[in-house]
Structure 1
């Protein structure tokens, strides 16, 4: 079943909860592109004016703990417990140290490019267990289908290089397979997902996975190694049970969809957290909040 075909939804909109904003928007997030979950359940997100937010999902308390001075896209928690943030206006990935008491330190630059040198448009980043930081560089924004993006990698010693110039059509969200043999890439310009085959931080091959998620933006794996995709154009999150199996041989499930875009609006990236790790958190670039969906029954 393809993403734009008739579908039943695994979850109803009434199952979703708004995180990071109150009904009067006295508390709100500035169009969050991504959400990262710390080991203690704390959420982190960025804003379109460089904000770095800490969000307590149980109390909806939001604190701005840093600012990159640009426009924050993807965020992730590193193996050192620091918050890493991609800022496409600054052509840089930043590191914000956070101590055991949750106190943020001074912002540092991990890697920076410019309008001509990678990473030009750092969009999303993810670590492997060896400490390598993979970064999607989306390339030229004005014509996504013909963008000249790449995947960039920063080694544990701090040296950086272009890992692969394929996929290139606005590479966006990333998800590392649980066995770290594949880096899944949302190629937004083509509405496709590709997989970069990895061996010790080098590229073996790039394969097509699916074009069944609509205008895909962000990716993530759940506790059963199923691949989820946030579709910014469909206001929906989809799921593929086994991304190694051809999509013609399995159903693409619609987890949740918001036709009106009020609870889930232009969803961009996703993460899992909560007490059991079964809560799906969705970042909504078109709204002022995150969305939480309990999938513990799944």
Structure 2
């Protein structure tokens, strides 16, 4: 399959290979209202890269392993932490970092992977990955203010990973990495979860992160091989861009839009990649 974009459309936005601080194998990535790029490190770092890509700061640390990230309408950052099996919340204005959620209803999150803010319902969805060879539930839902929550989608998923809320807000799209597919879960009028249905499948080979553009196309970043796909609203999938040598794109895990620019975290290296896809991303803030 020939890619829609040549590899030259992908450039290194920030290279943290030799800097101090170093950008240690980022996985999660998010964009704030001012256009700054945020990502996490393998030792729990929460990084902020200035909008022009010139400055990297470590603004906080969980002391664990930071995974997916998302901002809410008040500018607070939520990040999943593998080491602590918890979701943390960071307020950039005050510098306050707190443990936001660990589970609910007598159960705990096993592998909190990716958070999605639902502004319509004032809640946070969090994927729970479980073990690669052991499908399990599922997706958690937490109140944005109290952190109280429960297991929202309690049916088995095969390593639930990156997620994205549909433009209409009526479905939650979820990557099942080791099933090589993306499913969508209907959100009922009362906020309850319907049965997951396959949106796209047979993705080559390990899909990870998701992001929508304003035309309803879904972007799928793949950890391996180092490439991104774009799924149209009707489910037809195109190879967007591919890096066979895993250099500019190196195990891209999660992706996030800033205007028409799509940024990817590269777990295999020490940099953030920028791709101009020519279509603006769906606003999240």
Equivalent pair of 1:218/1:269 in contact (CA under 8 Å): yes
Match for residue 283 of structure 2?
none
Higher strand share: 2
Match for residue 270 of structure 2?
288
Tell me which of 279, 291, 295 is aligned to 2:261.
Answer: 279
Match for residue 110 of structure 1?
100
Match for residue 206 of structure 1?
196
What are structure 1's unaligned runs of at least 5 residues?
Answer: 1-6
Alignment of 1:76-87 (within 5 A): 76-87=70-81
**What's the Cα RMSD here?**
1.9
Give the superposition deviation at 1:259.
Answer: 0.5
Equivalent pair of 1:118/1:152 in contact (CA under 8 Å): no
Relative to 1, partners in 2 of residues 1:226 and 1:167: Cα closer, same or farther, differing over 3 Å? farther
The runs of at least 4 aligned residues of structure 1 exceeding 4 Å deviation read 22-27
Tell me which of 20, 26, 32 is aligned to 2:26.
Answer: 32
Q: Secondary structure at the match of 1:237?
A: strand
Q: Secondary structure at the match of 1:203?
A: coil
Relative to 1, partners in 2 of residues 1:167 and 1:210: Cα closer, same or farther, differing over 3 Å? farther
What are structure 2's unaligned runs of at least 5 residues?
Answer: 281-285
Equivalent pair of 1:20/1:27 in contact (CA under 8 Å): no
Q: Secondary structure at the match of 1:282?
A: strand
Match for residue 4 of structure 1?
none
Distance in 2 (alpha carbons) for counterparts of 1:25 and 1:51 = 15
Aligned residues: 275
CA offsets per residue over residues 32-51 of structure 1, 9 Å max, x none? 11210111111100000000
Match for residue 134 of structure 1?
125
Q: Secondary structure at the match of 2:15?
A: coil
Distance in 2 (alpha carbons) for counterparts of 1:147 and 1:204 = 18
Q: Secondary structure at the match of 2:250?
A: coil
Match for residue 3 of structure 1?
none
Give the superposition deviation at 1:225.
Answer: 1.5
Match for residue 96 of structure 1?
90
Distance in 2 (alpha carbons) for counterparts of 1:97 and 1:25 = 25
Equivalent pair of 2:213/2:279 in contact (CA under 8 Å): no
CA offsets per residue over residues 6-39 of structure 1, 9 Å max, x none? x222222222121231575556411111210111
Give the superposition deviation at 1:233.
Answer: 1.2
Equivalent pair of 1:35/1:271 in contact (CA under 8 Å): yes
Equivalent pair of 1:66/1:107 in contact (CA under 8 Å): yes
CA offsets per residue over residues 124-151 of structure 1, 9 Å max, x none? 00111221100001112xxx14232410
Q: Secondary structure at the match of 2:187?
A: strand
